[in-house]
């Protein structure tokens, strides 16, 4: 297999480790009874992994052996005395959770993996193998784990011609032309990778949807994928183009209140469920960036979402309605628009509607404050939308460990129901008692040999999955797990690499968008700097709209003297953000327009501080290069070389960002660069 193809599941041979003897003992006699496809997958995975890690092929019995050392089975299959030992644990574990426990059975210690359902067994086996890859001991283990979020979902922005919107790792995995007959091994490997981190839903198609996906010819193909994914616990969703009844049907309107339109969608749902009985539902981008929607007919988001929800309800499906809306007609501050449009609808959506909200109020910037809708719609399940693909973060060229970004958002306190109202508690539904919860990540996967383009971007897929399972995990834990599994358990590798991953997110913020700057990317592709762009037809597409640099200063005033977007945040956060002295400096220019001479906490002026941040970003990439150089003994040659080359590009481009932004902003500030900042060169 090509380098990196196996992701975090390489199952490297364990030759020298204190746990080796323990592992050999545990795996002497393995029992994993049960006939379902899911359990068959668990057995195959176990066989493959143990053979690779321990050398000798284990024998995994499909019957309940008398004297197992490792017993894996759903509760109902366990002997009564063992059932008793896991009863309490499993009452907490739910449909998808599991327990891994070292117990005494007939005077002998055995390792027990149990769950309420087959999918819990598969998740339990994957966790067991995860821990083994980290060389952890099971001697005292008593672990109960279950997902804290119901829908743990990847959103593929894949087009039917296999291009991927904002995809930087090749073409789409879905080979529509050869489906449904031809099942690419990659579909299976993809499902396996997702199951290993607990992802249980995927939306196959771009949010800028093509209605053709809902025609019978394509639905046959979707069914083939759904059949592959089902035993891995993954449900399929599709994006629904609101104007589909006109485009692929015979109607003249897509008005959600029109009886014929309602009937069209009800029939469509029946058709889909006759092929895919566990179809997840629709993901919808409506009245956003020119996409059709209910507003085209004088209706609103509730009318649109509920009409679709009605069609799916008899089958148990969900509507995931996106809140990413902004319009040129209301452009005083784009950051305010989604909240303004959606919050009044709280409580009006049907039970099977989730409103999917990007993590911040603009658009997946290297850093944004959390979206003010979180916590502001207590009667509506808000689903998180993170971006795993790095649209504004250097594509698959720059190394950026995104769990650090996700964690910052999830940990943020909205204060919507007093202190401690973190985004994580809103998303998992516990704070506001939601009946359903969800987290989506815009996928960074394509048909590149290593799936994600940058070898280290696999960590972002992994980390997203882990946080969707448990939004309270720390990014450090995730970094360590991933590094140990993917590369090496050597401490000389783990220590420096963990630090490098953790710091990589701040590095990109520093060299692209320090101190709360945002959306100063070049137009369309969003790759390099373009703070000077000012002539685009829609004001809120222009970087100048966001940084507002002039002779006096820089930044977007979102306080009451400006757009008053801060009003959408709860107290005491609102007041804190309104005052530049108490506003966290990482958001300073997001919320304030300040003079070039404004004094930062470190005593530097704003101009100096900004220039130094850009330089710090460049320095941090230099450090990453130095660290990586030392890691050669722990990484295969191909990947070591690849990352090295990519880091060189990242360094070049960090300097490009620094130089372009500082030269441009200098035309306003008219100030010299502080000492220590590399002299920008025009190239």
Least separation in angstroms between CB 287 and ligand GCU: 11
Query: With contact defined as beta carbons under 8 Å apart, do 303 and 256 qualify?
Result: yes
Is 165 one of the binding residues for ligand GCU (CB under 6 A)? yes
Query: In the Cβ-directed half-sphere of 322, how many Cα atoms lie within 13 Å?
Result: 32
Q: Give CA separation, 223 vs 179, 181, 243, in Å.
A: 10, 11, 23
Per DSSP, the residues of 77-128 read: GS-HHHHHHHHHHHHHHTTT-EEEEEEEETTEEEEEEEESSHHHHHHHHHHH
Checking phi first, is residue 295 left (phi over 0); if not, alpha (psi -120 to 50) or beta? alpha
Is 363 one of the binding residues for ligand GCU (CB under 6 A)? yes
Pick between residue 166 and residue 223 the one whose CB is nearest to ligand GCU.
Answer: 166
Least separation in angstroms between CB 330 and ligand GCU: 17
Q: How many residues does the chain have?
A: 683
x/- track of binding to ligand GCU for residues 196-235 (CB under 6 A)? -----------xx---------------------------
Pick between residue 151 and residue 677 the one whose CB is nearest to ligand GCU.
Answer: 151
Is 166 one of the binding residues for ligand GCU (CB under 6 A)? yes
Least separation in angstroms between CB 289 and ligand GCU: 6
Q: Which residues are catalytic?
A: 289, 363, 391
Q: Which H or E run contains 546?
A: helix 543-547
In the block, residue with structure tokens 């449900």: 235
In the block, residue with structure tokens 């949807």: 209
Pick between residue 176 and residue 541 the one whose CB is nearest to ligand GCU.
Answer: 541
Least separation in angstroms between CB 49 and ligand GCU: 37
- DSSP lists the bridge partners of residue 113 as 72, 100
Token reading at 116: 């309420």
Q: Give CA separation, 648 vs 80, 496, 512, 613, in Å.
A: 60, 19, 17, 20
| From candidates 75, 285, 466, 498, binder to ligand GCU by CB under 6 A | 285
Pick between residue 142 and residue 523 the one whose CB is nearest to ligand GCU.
Answer: 523
Sign of CA dihedral 72, 74, 77, 79: positive
Distance CA 21, CA 139 (A): 12
Residue 683: burial class (beta carbons within 10 Å; 0-12, 13-18, 19+) = exposed
Distance CA 154, CA 385 (A): 10
Token reading at 507: 């590095």
Pick between residue 83 and residue 208 the one whose CB is nearest to ligand GCU.
Answer: 208
In the block, residue with structure tokens 């709280």: 346
Least separation in angstroms between CB 363 and ligand GCU: 5
Number of residues that bind ligand GCU (CB under 6 A): 9
Least separation in angstroms between CB 285 and ligand GCU: 5
Is 368 one of the binding residues for ligand GCU (CB under 6 A)? no
Distance CA 410, CA 426 (A): 9
Least separation in angstroms between CB 372 and ligand GCU: 18
> According to CB under 6 A, which residues from 4 to 43 bind ligand GCU?
none
> According to CB under 6 A, which residues from 232 to 271 bind ligand GCU?
none
Least separation in angstroms between CB 621 and ligand GCU: 25
Pick between residue 71 and residue 400 the one whose CB is nearest to ligand GCU.
Answer: 400
Pick between residue 323 and residue 618 the one whose CB is nearest to ligand GCU.
Answer: 323
DSSP letter at 604?
A: -
Is 324 one of the binding residues for ligand GCU (CB under 6 A)? yes
Is 96 one of the binding residues for ligand GCU (CB under 6 A)? no
Name 127's Cβ contacts closer than 8 Å, sequence gap at least 6: 98, 100, 143, 145
DSSP letter at 236?
A: E
Pick between residue 276 and residue 325 the one whose CB is nearest to ligand GCU.
Answer: 325
Under the rule (CB under 6 A), what is the footprint of ligand GCU? 165-166, 207-208, 285, 289, 324, 363, 391
């Amino acid at each position: 297999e090509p380098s990196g193809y196996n992701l975090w599941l390489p199952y490297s041979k364990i030759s020298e480790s204190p746990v080796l003897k323990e592992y050999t003992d545990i795996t002497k006699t393995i029992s994993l009874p049960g006939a379902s496809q899911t359990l068959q997958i668990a057995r195959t995975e176990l066989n493959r992994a143990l053979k690779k890690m321990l050398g000798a092929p284990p024998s995994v019995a499909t019957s309940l052996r008398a004297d197992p050392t490792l017993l894996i089975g759903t509760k109902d299959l366990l002997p009564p005395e063992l059932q008793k030992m896991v009863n309490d644990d499993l009452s907490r574990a739910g449909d998808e959770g599991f327990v891994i426990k070292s117990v005494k059975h007939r005077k002998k210690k055995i390792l027990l993996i149990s769950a309420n359902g087959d999918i819990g067994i598969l998740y339990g086996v994957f966790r067991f193998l995860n821990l083994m890859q980290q060389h952890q001991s099971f001697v005292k283990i008593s672990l109960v784990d279950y997902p804290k979020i119901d829908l743990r979902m990847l959103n593929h922005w894949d087009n039917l011609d296999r291009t991927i919107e904002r995809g930087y790792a090749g073409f789409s995995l879905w080979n529509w032309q050869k489906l449904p007959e031809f099942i690419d091994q990659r579909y299976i490997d993809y499902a396996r990778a997702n199951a290993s981190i607990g992802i249980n839903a995927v939306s196959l198609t771009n949010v800028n949807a093509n209605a053709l996906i809902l025609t019978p010819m394509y639905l046959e193909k979707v069914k083939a994928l759904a059949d592959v994914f089902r035993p891995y616990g993954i449900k399929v969703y599709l994006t629904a183009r609101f104007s589909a009844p006109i485009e692929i049907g015979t109607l003249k309107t897509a008005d959600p209140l029109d009886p014929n339109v309602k009937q069209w969608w009800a029939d469509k749902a029946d058709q889909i469920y006759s092929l895919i009985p566990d179809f997840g539902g629709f993901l919808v981008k409506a009245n956003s960036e020119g996409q059709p929607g209910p507003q085209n007919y004088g209706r609103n988001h509730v009318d649109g979402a509920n009409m679709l929800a009605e069609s799916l309800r008899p089958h148990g499906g969900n509507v995931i309605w996106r809140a990413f809306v902004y319009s040129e007609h209301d452009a005083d501050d784009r950051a305010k628009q989604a909240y303004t449009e959606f919050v009044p609808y709280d409580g009006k959506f049907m039970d099977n509607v989730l409103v999917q909200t990007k993590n911040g109020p603009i658009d997946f910037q290297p850093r944004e404050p959390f979206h003010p809708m979180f916590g502001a719609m207590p009667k509506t399940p808000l689903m998180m939308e993170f971006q795993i693909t790095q649209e504004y973060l250097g594509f698959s060229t720059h190394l950026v460990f995104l769990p650090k970004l996700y964690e910052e958002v999830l940990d943020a306190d909205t204060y919507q129901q007093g202190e401690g109202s973190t985004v994580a508690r809103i998303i998992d539904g516990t704070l506001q008692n939601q009946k359903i919860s969800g987290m989506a990540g815009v996928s960074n996967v394509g048909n590149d040999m290593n799936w994600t383009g940058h070898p280290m971007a696999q960590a972002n897929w992994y980390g997203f999955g882990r946080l969707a399972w448990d939004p309270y995990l720390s990014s450090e834990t995730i970094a360590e797990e991933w590094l140990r599994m993917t590369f090496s358990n050597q401490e000389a590798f783990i220590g420096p690499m963990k630090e490098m991953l953790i710091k990589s997110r701040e590095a990109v913020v520093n060299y692209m968008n320090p101190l709360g700057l945002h959306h100063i990317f070049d137009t369309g592709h969003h790759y390099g700097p373009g703070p000077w762009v000012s002539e685009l037809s829609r004001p809120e597409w222009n970087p100048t709209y966001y940084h507002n640099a002039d002779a006096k200063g820089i930044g977007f005033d979102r306080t009451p003297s400006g757009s008053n977007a801060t009003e959408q945040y709860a107290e005491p956060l609102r007041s804190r953000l309104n005052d530049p002295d108490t506003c966290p400096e990482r958001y300073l220019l997001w919320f304030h327009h300040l003079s070039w001479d404004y004094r930062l906490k470190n005593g530097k002026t704003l101009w100096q501080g900004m220039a130094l941040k850009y330089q710090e970003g460049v320095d941090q990439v230099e450090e990453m290069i130095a660290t990586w150089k030392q890691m050669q003994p722990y990484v295969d040659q191909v990947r070591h070389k690849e990352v090295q080359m990519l880091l060189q590009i990242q360094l070049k481009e960090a300097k490009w960002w620094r130089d372009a932004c500082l030269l441009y902003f200098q035309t306003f500030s008219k100030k010299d660069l502080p000492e220590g900042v590399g002299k920008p060169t025009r190239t």
